[in-house]
């Protein structure tokens, strides 16, 4: 079964609702006020099945200028349109505005139905048909069928059904792959079941039991039940009119304009970059920072227009603009929209969303315009490369790339594989997958090398910089998770040498000895004097009346040149004393085969303060290995 949405459009009282009833037997005027006034105020819905496995969901839109808001919400999901023009009146103001709206919202196919043919003579019908053909010239309906019908007598309805079936054969169904998205156009309750929403499923498939989220509010629930064309079903497919029974969401927690989506799959936005076609019929120039009303699918919100490359947009011109929304909305790349003014109430423009999550940037930015050109032209690889490059030092996740481009997951995967192979882009983390441009990687590497050089210039006695300390020098706008791959890249480049917990510049000559009369020499002598029970850092500071940094810097220098050995963060031995203790340990083990801590204390005269750290140090040197409470020689 091929599921398509057929929508009506046209001026008030031109017979749209009567025509739908004649085709389907369903009266789409469901409100008492609609019955009383004889006009459609809200959207009406019906279904029509045609031979060849064609199933139409019909959306009957209001024609009065006061109800264009409802009309726009009905156009959002249309696959085909039936532009209805009364033969006795011809083209009227809302006929023109509706055709503008259809074009701006990207409707590509349809036909014209000339209603009330029984009320005019053949000559008049021929004149109106010619007028309509001139009217639609240059639009998507230029080659469309024009079918004269009478809803009262039934004349022409057979021809209309045939033309609809022919158009349906060539119409593309909405994509069933991907994630479901259903803009809500009605909300009500059913006794014993709870909250029900209706709308046209724009993409994917939705099933009973699916976990869902209502955007932009973020409220979560589940699908309790589904109806398609008044029949219960276990799943709904893209292109179908559906009623969804919601579990866990109250009537006052969802409204028209909300969107039903899978949980944690999408997020709302407050700004979008778009292509705007400003209609030649617009009443005035559009100025930078003007506020208009944005309509997309069933959603409506005030939007401030930021002109990106000029200060004024004249009627008939097109431009890239940013729309800053007063309230958050779910808009994706490729979504259509229109803009309206309230005085006079009319449609002035519209177009397509290009980037639903644009970064902050200056107006007239060449980078922004370059990206929007790529998005508008459909150059997907160039678009993704630009998005990654313009994410600068922060990088961008796979999910963000998909959200901003609106491309299918497989397409994004394929393009990223190409960019990764070329070296233009790098993957910095596995979960989440974050990508960085080659230029940004080189900037971060240079920054770390500069930080290392600055640190060593300020600390000439140090051989390198602590790994964790260097990590803190990454720019705040970058990501701490990039540090490990960055360090690995620098090591592969031969720029640094990681050594335990420090990072050293490769090939750099460092100090290997301290001046004879300097603090380092004094500390060395002090360590030798204290022998097997050396002083603590604090004791050295007190002895020579110096700060901790100076002591540690000089101890690090003595360790590098072999005059001292670091046992723990607060314990350093003179090399001769440590060698003597090691020799005694080795001699005992070669004779006895094993040694316990009490035996080593008796052998050396060490207190427990020094005994345990020393034994652990010899383990780390791989001289000994601990077996229970004993040490034995490690086999080489």
Q: What is the DSSP string of 115-166?
A: E-GGGS-HHHHHHHHHHHHHHTTTSTTTT--EEE--TTT-TTHHHHHHHHHH
What CATH architecture does domain 440-505 belong to?
Answer: Orthogonal Bundle (1.10)
pLDDT value at residue 509:
53
Q: Is 83 within 8 Å of 98 (Cβ atoms)? A: yes
User: What confidence category does residue 62 fall into, taking pLDDT thresholds of 50, 70 and 90?
Assistant: low
- Is CATH 3.40.50.720 what the domain over 2-170 is classified as, yes or no? no
- At 532 the pLDDT is 93
Pinpoint the residues of the chain covered by CATH 1.10.10.10. Answer: 366-438, 440-505, 519-636
Question: Are residues 273 and 355 in contact, defined by beta-carbon separation less than 8 angstroms?
Answer: yes
* Architecture label for domain 269-355: Beta Barrel (2.40)
pLDDT in tens, 229-262: 778 999 998 888 899 999 999 999 999 999 999 9
Q: What is the pTM assigned to this prediction?
A: 0.73
Predicted local distance difference test score (pLDDT) of residue 172:
79
For residue 408, name the pLDDT band (cuts at 50, 70, 90).
confident
Domain with CATH 2.40.30.10 in the chain: 182-262, 269-355
* Whole-angstrom distance, CA of residue 288 vs CA of residue 290: 6
- Burial profile 12-21: b = 16 or more Cβ within 10 angstroms, e = fewer: bbbbbbbbbb
Q: Measured on CA atoms in the order 416, 422, 425, 426, is the torsion positive or negative?
A: positive
pLDDT tens column, 507-565: 765 444 444 448 888 999 999 999 999 999 999 999 999 999 889 888 988 887 889 99
- The mean predicted confidence, pLDDT, of the chain is 89
**What's the pLDDT at 327?**
96
Q: DSSP E strands: which ranges in 385-535?
A: 396-397, 425-429, 434-437, 465-466, 496-499, 502-505
**Which of these, 409, 415, 433, lies nearest to 204 by C-alpha position?**
409
Looking at per-residue confidence, does 177 or 66 come out higher?
Answer: 177
Residue 40, pLDDT > 50, answer no
Q: How many CB atoms lie within 10 A of CB 567?
A: 18
Q: 294 phi and psi, to 5 degrees?
A: -95, 135
pLDDT, residue 171, reads 85
Query: 366-438 architecture in CATH?
Result: Orthogonal Bundle (1.10)
Picking from 320, 225, 335, the residue whose alpha carbon sits closest to that of residue 273 is 320
The average pLDDT across 489-518 equals 76
The pLDDT of residue 436 is above 50:
yes
- Per-residue model confidence as pLDDT tens digits over 153-210: 999 999 999 999 999 998 877 666 778 999 998 899 988 889 999 988 888 899 999 9
Pairing of the two strands 80-86 and 2-9: parallel
CATH class of 519-636: mainly alpha
Tell me which CATH code domain 182-262 carries: 2.40.30.10
Contact of 89 with 114, CB cutoff 8 Å: no
CA distances from 70 to 357, 562, 575 (A): 27, 84, 87
DSSP H helix total and E strand total for the chain: 19, 34
Q: What whole-number distance in Å separates Cα of residue 57 and Cα of residue 168?
A: 12
Direct distance between the N- and C-terminal alpha carbons of the chain, in angstroms, rounded to an integer: 75
Whether 32 shows a pLDDT value over 50: the answer reads no
- Angle 466-472-475 (CA atoms, 0-180°, nearest 5)? 135
* pLDDT higher than threshold 70 for residue 475: yes
- pLDDT over 90 for what percent of the chain? 66
Dist CA 617 CA 623 (whole Å): 9
Banded model confidence at residue 38, pLDDT cuts 50, 70, 90: very low
Which residues make Cβ contacts (< 8 Å) with residue 429, sequence separation at least 6? 479, 481, 482, 485
Residue 326, classed as helix, strand or coil, is: strand
CATH 3.40.50.300 residue window(s) in the chain:
2-170
**Res. 589: pLDDT tops 60:** yes
Phi, psi of 102 (to 5 degrees): -60, -40
């Amino acid at each position: 079964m091929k599921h398509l949405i057929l929508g009506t459009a046209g001026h008030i009282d031109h017979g749209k609702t009567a025509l739908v009833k004649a085709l389907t037997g369903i009266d789409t005027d469901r409100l008492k006020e609609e019955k009383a006034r004889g006009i459609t105020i809200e959207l009406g819905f019906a279904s029509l099945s045609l031979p060849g496995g064609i199933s139409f969901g019909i959306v009957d839109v209001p024609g009065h200028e006061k109800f264009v808001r409802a009309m726009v919400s009905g156009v959002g999901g249309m696959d085909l349109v039936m532009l209805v023009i009364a033969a006795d009146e011809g083209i009227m103001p809302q006929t023109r505005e509706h055709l503008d709206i259809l074009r701006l919202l990207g409707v590509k196919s349809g036909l014209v139905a000339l209603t009330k043919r029984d009320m005019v003579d053949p000559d008049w019908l021929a004149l109106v048909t010619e007028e309509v053909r001139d009217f639609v010239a240059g639009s998507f309906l230029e080659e469309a069928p024009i079918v004269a019908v009478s809803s009262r007598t039934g004349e022409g309805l057979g021809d209309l059904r045939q033309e609809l079936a022919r158009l349906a054969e060539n119409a593309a169904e909405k994509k069933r792959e991907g994630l479901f998205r259903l803009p809500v156009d009605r909300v009500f309750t059913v006794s014993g079941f709870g909250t029900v929403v209706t709308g046209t499923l724009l993409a994917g498939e939705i099933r009973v039991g699916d976990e869902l989220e209502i955007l932009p509010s973020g409220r979560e629930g589940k699908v309790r039940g589904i109806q398609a064309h008044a029949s219960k079903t276990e799943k709904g497919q893209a292109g179908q009119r559906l009623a969804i029974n919601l579990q866990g969401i109250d009537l006052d927690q969802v409204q028209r304009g909300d969107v039903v989506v899978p949980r944690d799959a999408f997020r709302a936005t407050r700004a979008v970059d778009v292509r705007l076609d400003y209609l030649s019929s617009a009443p005035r120039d559009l100025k930078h920072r003007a506020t208009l009303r944005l309509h997309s699918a069933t959603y409506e919100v005030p939007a401030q227009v930021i002109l990106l490359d000029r200060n004024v947009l004249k009627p008939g011109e097109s431009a890239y603009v940013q729309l800053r929304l007063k309230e958050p909305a779910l808009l994706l790349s490729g979504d259509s929209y229109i803009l309206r003014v309230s005085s006079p109430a009319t449609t002035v423009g519209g177009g397509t969303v290009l980037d639903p999550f644009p970064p902050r940037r200056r107006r007239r930015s060449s980078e922004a315009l370059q990206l929007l050109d790529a998005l508008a032209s459909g150059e997907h690889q160039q678009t993704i490369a630009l998005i990654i490059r313009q994410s600068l030092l922060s990088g961008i996740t796979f999910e963000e790339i998909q959200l901003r481009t609106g491309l299918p997951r497989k397409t994004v995967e394929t393009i990223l594989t190409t960019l990764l192979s070329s070296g233009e882009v790098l993957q910095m983390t596995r979960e989440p997958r974050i990508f960085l441009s080659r230029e940004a990687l080189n900037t971060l590497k240079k920054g770390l090398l500069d930080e290392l050089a600055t640190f060593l210039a300020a600390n000439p006695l140090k051989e390198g910089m602590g790994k964790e300390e260097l990590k803190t020098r990454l720019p705040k706008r970058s990501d701490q998770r990039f540090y490990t791959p960055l360090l690995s890249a620098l090591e592969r480049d031969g720029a640094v040498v990681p050594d335990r917990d420090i990072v050293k510049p490769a090939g750099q000559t460092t100090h290997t000895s301290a001046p004879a009369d300097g603090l380092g020499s004094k500390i060395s002598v002090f360590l030798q004097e204290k022998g097997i029970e050396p002083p603590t850092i604090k004791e050295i500071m007190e002895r020579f009346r110096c700060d901790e940094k100076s002591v540690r810097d000089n101890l690090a220098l003595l360790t590098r040149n072999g005059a001292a050995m670091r046992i723990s963060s607060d314990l350093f031995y003179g090399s001769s004393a440590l060698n003597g203790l090691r020799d005694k340990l080795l001699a005992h083990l070669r004779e006895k085969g094993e040694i316990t801590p009490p035996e080593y204390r008796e052998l050396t005269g060490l207190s427990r303060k020094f005994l345990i750290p020393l034994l652990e140090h010899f383990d780390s040197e791989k001289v000994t290995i601990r077996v229970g409470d004993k040490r034995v020689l490690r086999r080489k």
